[in-house]
Amino acid sequence: MCLAIPAKVIEKTGNIAKVDFGDSTLREVDVSLVEVSVGQYVLVHAGYAIQVLDEEEALKTIELLSDMLSE
Amino acid sequence: MSFLKEFRNRELAEALVRKLRDIPLRKPIKICHVCGTHEWTIVHYGLRSLLPANIELIAGPGCPVCITPALDIDQAAELALQGKIVTVFGDVSRSIGTKYSLEAVRSEGGSVKIVYSIIDAIKIAKSDQSKEVVFFAVGFETTAPITALYILRTPPKNFSILNSHRYVPPAVINLYSRGKLEMDGVIAPGHATTISGLKAYEPLAKEYGIPVVASGFEPVDVLMSIFMLVKQISEGKAEVLNQYSRSVTWEGNVKAMQTIGRVFELTDAHWRGIGKIDHSGFVLKDEFKDYDARYKYGLKNVDYASEMHPGCRCAEVMLGRIKPTQCPLYMKTCKPNKPIGPCMVSVEGACRIWATHMLLP
């Protein structure tokens, strides 16, 4: 139910964006509740974007993980 | 951008498990998660089998379909049988109220339509304004913002919602404080916490000394979160940490929470099989009561007493007290293709996840 799938924003018109879930699965989603531009990735749940995925933070998590493992 | 190579990396997972095994623990501990998707990851990747015997992973009440009251399903069924078009998420349609599911109602000629989102439900209402359309609004804070957003956009007069939205953080805090949910650390649900913000879980750490880690959904995410919790427990710490920082922040999605706040207020609410929990449900504010199906159609609130089917032990499964395999109905009379209890219905229900992974008593 709280499943959210990452998708890339490929077009944006007002509150509605066309997103690509990969494999060319294209959908229209509501992006009113996030600040997003074309090219960024959003997490999509029940027809709307709950968040813009932060690539830099993903890299930080991976870095944190390697720090943990090398302690 | 998916970083799946890292977050599903076997070597990383194995290295984390080795590290985990090195952490000294004085007594066996329980780590509780509150999300069906976490349970799926844990079962699918066999994470329980990788952990040392003194770390138990329990699945808390993290499946909205499982905790949606039987009465609410009965009300949705009643409306469909009266000829109103009831729009509902697919897995919700399979959950059985006190008598039958919406799927069964549809096979009896009731008008039930499966939708992906409230957006689709409103499209149906706009396409024929002579028909009454009801959206069965089930889900946690992850789902509530989109309901709120579209209520604010003034749907047509023939549209209303049968609202069952619930809010996770107060429920977890309340269940723990009443001794109903036993745990030494909690994995906060990554997507619900994306909306509420990590700060919503702060009382658990500050007031009750329970460490919290918000987690992503890949196997390495979950193992890393368990590591971050176990390390804290071992050192006697209780902090609120963020493993899923690519989506979760301390403040959460402020715009989404504000949108919820404009339409809903928090109230004490019933969770199926668990009972009433303080400040854990979203109800429509008075100014939106024309969109409240219960008000619009004069639905009566009845007693929640007889909401579990005889023999069904979902309530204990949802509080992590028993494993799905310990329920006498599991895979005997209650199966994924013919569920009896709510935990066997949704792809997020612990019983169904266990059953589809062939876990037997």
Average pLDDT over residues A15-20: 97
- For the record, the structure tokens of B180 come out as 């109903």
Average pLDDT over residues B120-140: 97
Inter-chain CB proximity B253 and A34 less than 8 Å? yes
Closest-approach residue (CA) in chain B for A29: B119
Closest-approach residue (CA) in chain B for A46: B117
Closest-approach residue (CA) in chain B for A62: B6
For residue B3, give the nearest of A46, A50, A58 by CB distance: A58
For residue B149, give the nearest of A33, A61, A62 by CB distance: A33
Closest-approach residue (CA) in chain B for A67: B16
pLDDT of residue B352: 96
Using an 8 Å Cβ cutoff, are B324 and B350 in contact?
A: yes
pLDDT of residue B79: 96
Substitution target in B246, B345, B353 with the highest count of A β-carbons within 10 Å is: B246
Inter-chain CB proximity A2 and B143 less than 8 Å? yes
pLDDT of residue B198: 98
Distance from CA of A31 to the nearest CA of B (A): 10
Segment B168-226, tens digit of pLDDT = 999 999 999 999 999 999 999 999 999 999 999 999 999 999 999 999 999 999 999 99
Chain A residues with a Cβ under 8 Å from any Cβ in chain B: 1-4, 6, 8, 30, 32-34, 41, 43, 45-48, 50-51, 53-55, 57-58, 60-62, 65, 68-69, 71
Integer angstrom CA distances of residue A15 from A24, A33, B254: 21, 9, 17
Residues contacting A30, CB < 8 A, separation 6+: A15, A16, A47, A48, A49, B119, B146, B149
pLDDT of residue B355: 97
- In angstroms and rounded to an integer, the radius of gyration of the C-alpha atoms of chain B is 20
For residue A61, give the nearest of B65, B246, B348 by CB distance: B246
Helix ranges (H only) for B70-117 are 70-81, 102-107
Average pLDDT over residues B143-154: 98
The neighbour count for residue B52, using CB atoms within 10 Å, is 13
Question: Burial, B100: exposed, middle or buried (Cβ in 10 Å; 0-12, 13-18, 19+)?
Answer: middle
> Which of B317, B352, B324, B328 has the alpha carbon at shortest distance from B338?
B352
pLDDT of residue B54: 96
Using an 8 Å Cβ cutoff, are B38 and B189 in contact?
A: yes
Average pLDDT over residues A21-28: 89
Average pLDDT over residues B274-299: 96
Question: Burial, B169: exposed, middle or buried (Cβ in 10 Å; 0-12, 13-18, 19+)?
Answer: buried
Average pLDDT over residues B31-58: 96
Average pLDDT over residues B5-15: 93
pLDDT of residue B309: 87
Average pLDDT over residues B49-77: 95
How confident is residue B346, by pLDDT bands cut at 50, 70 and 90? Answer: confident
Distance from CA of B191 to the nearest CA of A (A): 6
Least confident of A22-31, B192-201, B238-247: A22-31
Helix ranges (H only) for B108-153 are 118-127, 144-152
For residue B27, give the DSSP letter.
S
Average pLDDT over residues B339-354: 93
**pTM flag (> 0.85):** yes
What residues of chain B lie within 8 A of the CB of A58, using their CB?
A: 1, 3, 246
Give the H or E element holding residue B133. Answer: strand B133-139
Q: Percentage of chain B with pLDDT > 90?
A: 92
> Which of B14, B53, B96, B46 has the alpha carbon at shortest distance from B358?
B46
End-to-end Cα separation, chain A, in angstroms: 37
Inter-chain CB proximity B146 and A48 less than 8 Å? yes
pLDDT of residue B1: 65
pLDDT of residue B305: 64
Average pLDDT over residues B54-67: 95
pLDDT of residue A2: 78
Residue type, B197: G
CA distance B112 to B107: 9
Segment B190-203, tens digit of pLDDT = 999 999 999 999 99
End-to-end Cα separation, chain B, in angstroms: 40
Distance from CA of B43 to the nearest CA of A (A): 16
Q: Percentage of chain A with pLDDT > 70?
A: 99
Across the A/B interface, how many CB contacts are shorter than 8 Å? 123
Substitution target in A2, A41, A42, A59 with the highest count of B β-carbons within 10 Å is: A2
Q: Report chain B's mean pLDDT, rounded to a whole number.
A: 95
